[in-house]
Amino acid sequence: MLENAVIITGAAQRVGLALALHLQHNGFQVVATYRSPRKGVEQLQAAGVTCVQADFSSTQGVKTFINWIDDKVKSIRALVHNASDWCAEKGRIDAELLKYMMQIHVEAPYLINLSVEDKLVAASETADIIHITDYTVEKGSDKHIAYCASKAALDNLTLSFAKKFAPKVKVNTIAPSLLMFNQDDDEAYRVKTLKKSVLGIEPGAQEVVEAVAFILKSNYMTGRQLKLDGGRHIAF
């Protein structure tokens, strides 16, 4: 069974992929989940990462992954809830969409956290839970209402689990804005987006990687949110 594992959900692309590779290369035993096969899975496997297909859009899918943890993992050094979907909204506003967003961003982390408490406590050093949310949890969005509501709920779970699991487990949030553009984003969109932050740069996935590394090294921070938005929250 894996000991002192670092579990990262949604780790087959973008930020999750960069984080999984970084931690694996720095001596951690990483477990990465992915929903559907991607090129990133091959990169992870080549690096020695344990890859597990998991679908968090249903309660049964979450329970299946929890059962896998029960069978394969003895102790957990860190649990990073990165699995996310904001592209699904695209103007839809209906009950099924809200249920879908809450399932992925709230129910899945909630059930997994509660199910692995003993494995977190069993780690050889203070364990961490890290929720990846979004800078919009405090601002809202008229285009991604269900997404923002679900990420705000996940942000609140940070506070509750930080209280419940102290002092054996630290629980924190990282709330980034857009870190990486997609290949099909045109220049006008890129310029417009960068102007929304006071720093005006595209930071890349490395910002989250470094934030996670900081949290893992910290001994005295829990129940906090690290905002990685380039100053969007103070932009006019």
Range list of H helices, 73-205? 95-102, 108-115, 117-121, 145-165, 187-194
Token couple for 30: 């990483």
Paired residues of 50 in beta bridges: 31
Is-contact 109 79, C-beta < 8 A? no
Residue 24 is classified by DSSP as H
Bin 190: left if φ > 0, else alpha if -120 < ψ < 50, else beta: alpha
Measure Cα distances from 69 to 33, 64, 115, 130, 176 in Å: 11, 9, 9, 17, 28
In angstroms, the CA 88 to CA 147 distance is: 9
Catalytic option among 100, 147, 189, 220:
147
Is-contact 137 229, C-beta < 8 A? no
110 flagged as catalytic: no
Active-site amino acid positions: 147
